[in-house]
Amino acid sequence: MLLTGKCHCGNIALEFVWDGDATEIPARACGCTFCVKHGGVWTSNPTSKLLVAIQDAALVSRYVFGTRTATFFVCSRCGAVPLVTSKIADHLYAVVNVNVLENVDPSWLRRGTADFEGEDVESRLARRTRNWIADVRIAEGGA
């Protein structure tokens, strides 16, 4: 199933190809200091694919903090945060903010919380390689 979404102004658009039907989508409200302030709620599926289309790369703020292993893509025009990426052993992984998805029925979301404070970097990266989207392409400059 193709899930689509974008930031509020449309500068960062997502095509998220969910393997199978998407009626059980985990939605994790992250407890990190950034996500608490932004209301970030994330999903991923290791067998899914993500295509990110950025119209104007100059209007994307790539924000890192803490362990600096994750990059938050913040639209600097509208302020939405559609995705986070993590580069691990030269491979790009990502999670998607369920709040920017536009063709998802709210009843499909399996809401929960996630708090990874205190997790060491090695465990954190290992978890991402297991759970995050492993097929990620980012196209800049419009389509």
78: DSSP letter: T
**Angstrom distances, CA of residue 103 to CA of 82, 85, 109, 124:** 15, 22, 12, 30
Residue numbers 59-88 binding Zn ion by CB under 5 A: 75, 77-78
When asked if residue 97 is in the footprint of Zn ion (CB under 5 A), the reply is no
Residue position matching structure tokens 């039907």: 21
Which of 9, 32, 88, 92 is in the footprint of Zn ion by CB under 5 A?
Answer: 9
- Closest distance of CB 62 from Zn ion, Å: 14
Q: Which is nearer to Zn ion, 3 or 81 (CB)?
A: 81
Distance CA 109, CA 41 (A): 10
Give contact residues for Zn ion (rule: CB under 5 A).
7, 9, 11, 75, 77-78
